[in-house]
Structure 1
Amino acid sequence: MIKIAWHPIYAHPLPEGHRFPMLKYELIPEQLLHEGTIEQENLFSPLPVSEENILLTHDKGYWEQLKNLTLPLKEQRRIGFPLNAQLIERELRITQGTIDGTRFAQQNGIAFNAAGGTHHAGSNWGEGFCLLNDQAISANYLLNNRLAYRILIIDLDVHQGNGTAEIFKNEDRVFTFSMHGDKNFPFRKEISNLDVPLDDNLQDEEYLNLLEINLKKAFEKSQPDFIFYLSGVDVLATDKLGKLGLTKQGCKERDRMVLQTCKTKNIPVQVSMGGGYSTEIKDIVDAHCNTYRLAFDLFN
Structure 2
Amino acid sequence: MIKIAWHPTYVHPLPEGHRFPMLKYELIPEQLLYEGTIGHHNLFNADLLSENVVLLTHQKAYWEQLRDLTLSAKDQRRIGFPLDAQLVERELRIAKGTIDGACFALEHGIAFNVAGGTHHAGSNWGEGFCLLNDQAISANYLLNNNLANHILIIDLDVHQGNGTAEIFRHEPRVFTFSMHGDKNFPFRKEISDLDVPLDDGLRDEAYLSILNTNLKKAFESARPDFVFYLSGVDVLSTDKLGKLALSKAACKERDRMVLQTCKDKNLPLQVSMGGGYSVHIKDIVDAHCNTFRLAFDLFT
**TM-score, length basis structure 2:** 0.99
Q: Distance in 2 between matches of 1:215 and 1:124?
A: 29
Which aligned pairs between 1:71-220 and structure 2 lie closer than 5 A?
71-220=71-220
Contact 2:11 2:19 in 1 (8 A): no
Larger displacement relative to structure 2 (8-17 or 65-74): 8-17
Q: Is the 8 A contact 1:12 1:87 kept in 2?
A: no
The 1-side partners of 2:171 and 2:137 are apart by: 13
Alignment gaps of 5+ in structure 1:
none
How far the C-alpha of 1:13 sits from its partner, in A, is 4.4
Q: Residue by residue, what CA displacement relative to the aligned partner does 1:35-89 show, whole Å, maximum 9, x if unpaired?
A: 0000000000000101011000000000000001100000000000101111111
Deviation, 1:19, is 1.4
Matches of 1:181 and 1:191, distance apart in 2: 14
Please list the CA deviations of residues 7-55 of structure 1 after superposition, one character each: whole Å capped at 9, or x if unmatched: 1111124223211111101000000000000000000000010101100
Secondary structure of 1:271's match?
Answer: strand
> What is the letter of the counterpart of residue 2 of structure 1?
I
- 2: CA distance between counterparts of 1:20 and 1:68? 28
Q: Structure 2: how far apart are the matches of 1:10 and 1:185?
A: 23
Residue 202 of structure 1 contacts residue 246 of structure 1 at CA under 8 Å; is this kept in 2?
yes
State the alpha-carbon separation in 1 of the partners of residues 201 and 96 from structure 2. Answer: 36
Gaps of 5+ in 2: none
2:229 counterpart SS class: strand
- TM-score norm. by structure 1 comes to 0.99
* Distance in 1 between residues matched to 2:34 and 2:53, nearest whole Å: 35
Q: Secondary structure at the match of 2:31?
A: helix
Partners of 1:105 and 1:270 within 8 A in 2:
yes
Amino acid at match of 2:78: R
1:255 Cα deviation after fit: 0.1
Cα drift, residue 98 of structure 1:
0.2
Q: Which residue of 2 aligns with 1:43?
A: 43
Percentage identity across paired residues of the two chains:
80
Q: Number of paired residues? A: 300
Equivalent position of 1:63 in the other structure = 63
Any runs of at least 4 consecutive aligned residues in structure 1 with deviations exceeding 3 A, and if so which? none
Which secondary structure does the structure 2 equivalent of 1:18 belong to?
helix
Query: Quick one: which amino acid aligns to residue 53 of structure 2?
Result: N
Deviation at 1:127, TM superposition (A): 0.1
Quote the offset at 1:270 in angstroms.
Answer: 0.1
Paired letter, 1:274: G
Aligned-partner residue type, residue 67 of structure 1: R
Amino acid at match of 1:291: T
CA distance in 2, matches of 1:16, 1:103: 34
Secondary structure in structure 2 of the residue aligned to 1:17:
helix
Work out the CA distance in 2 between the residues paired with 1:112 and 1:99: 10
